[in-house]
Amino acid sequence: MKINKIKINQFKEFLGTYNKVTENCFMDCVRDFTTRDVKPEESSCSESCLQKYLKMTQRISMRFQEYHIQQNEALAAKAGLLGQPR
């Protein structure tokens, strides 16, 4: 039961992020509403915008993992020092 709640919350977070990115890229890239078709420059802009967000997300994730590894190493080193007699 708890796992389902976690999965639902993760999916809600994903949808929120997806909607935010979509809205930001749309607002930045789409300027002309005189035609139903997507113009090539709008399509190109949107694709670049989405790629940028994906790369940013990957970089943040990598940095977050590196930070946690450093924190765990620091805690392990501190625990090792505290556990040794003087």
Say if pTM beats, i.e. exceeds, 0.75: no
- Measured CA to CA, the distance from residue 65 to residue 46 in angstroms comes to 29
How many other β-carbons are positioned within 10 Å of the β-carbon of residue 86?
3
Question: Cβ(40)–Cβ(64) under 8 Å?
Answer: no
DSSP state string for 37-81: SPPHHHHHHHHHHHHHHHHHHHHHHHHHHHHHHHHHHHHHHHHHH
pLDDT for res 3: 84
Q: What domains can be seen in the chain, in order of their start residue?
A: 5-79 (1.10.287.810)
Q: What is the pLDDT along the chain (86 residues), one digit of tens a residue?
A: 788 999 999 999 999 999 999 999 999 999 999 999 999 999 999 999 999 999 999 999 999 999 999 999 999 888 886 656 65
pLDDT for res 85: 60
